[in-house]
Copies of this chain bind each other. A is one copy, B any other.
């Protein structure tokens, strides 16, 4: 049985591994875990003894197959709990993450599989992130930032890059919520802000900062 701390390290290393492809370095783990590099070194030594990752002094770490399986299980639990909170208990998408951070550590595979079934085997969590299946498979679909869209392109809001409450609340206020269809109408050369039209509503202005943090599924009309 692994401790909460060990589970959090594995999850953090997995997240870092996802975006970088190279070995994950000590400092980046420390930053994500909000801890000190010295503590990270201690922990990766321990996780390496437990065969969850490969650690080479001064060279960073890489998850083993069992480390990866464990990380995906954590992600599955986290996202299923977020979905439960959102779909069943009516929590808004900016409220679910912190509680899921706690719930993801509950040890019971029967519980998580029952929850999955109870929720109707959801494919995505309240932020649009894919929920790994029981067998570990993750269905990824290609998404694009609004900022990458051309004038006249249509898309459906399907994910976010930034997951902070502040950002999610901002999106909600501006109708930029999951599932809404939008069209990019124009782009300002000055600040790269965009005018976008949300189906059926009056066009709104979207800053470049926002446009770089909202993900769309492209649709052809």
Q: How far is the CB of A27 from chain B (nearest CB, A)?
A: 28
Distance A118 CA – B103 CA, assembled complex (angstroms): 18
Judge if A188 is at the interface, Cβ distance under 8 Å. no
Distance A107 CA – B103 CA, assembled complex (angstroms): 10
Of the listed stretches A51-59, A108-116, A133-141, A190-198, name the one at the interface; the rest are far from the partner chain: A108-116
Whether A99 and B111, one on each chain, are in contact in the complex, defined by CB atoms closer than 8 angstroms, is yes
List B contacts of A98 (CB < 8 A): 108
Whether B115 and A106, one on each chain, are in contact in the complex, defined by CB atoms closer than 8 angstroms, is no
In the complex, which residues 113-145 of chain A have their Cβ closer than 8 Å to any Cβ of chain B? 114-115, 118
Instruction: Report the interface size for chain A: residues with CB under 8 A from the other chain.
Output: 18
Distance A165 CA – B110 CA, assembled complex (angstroms): 16
Whether A99 and B89, one on each chain, are in contact in the complex, defined by CB atoms closer than 8 angstroms, is no
Whether A99 and B91, one on each chain, are in contact in the complex, defined by CB atoms closer than 8 angstroms, is no
Whether B99 and A106, one on each chain, are in contact in the complex, defined by CB atoms closer than 8 angstroms, is yes
Q: How far is the CB of A100 from chain B (nearest CB, A)?
A: 10
Q: How far is the CB of A107 from chain B (nearest CB, A)?
A: 7
List B contacts of A107 (CB < 8 A): 102
Tell me which of B90, B106, B114 contacts A102 (CB under 8 A): B106
Judge if A88 is at the interface, Cβ distance under 8 Å. yes
Distance A98 CA – B95 CA, assembled complex (angstroms): 27
Whether B115 and A89, one on each chain, are in contact in the complex, defined by CB atoms closer than 8 angstroms, is yes
6 shortest interchain CB distances as A-B pairs: A89-B114, A102-B106, A99-B108, A99-B111, A89-B118, A103-B106
6 A-B residue pairs with CB within 8 Å: A89-B114, A89-B115, A90-B114, A98-B108, A102-B106, A102-B108
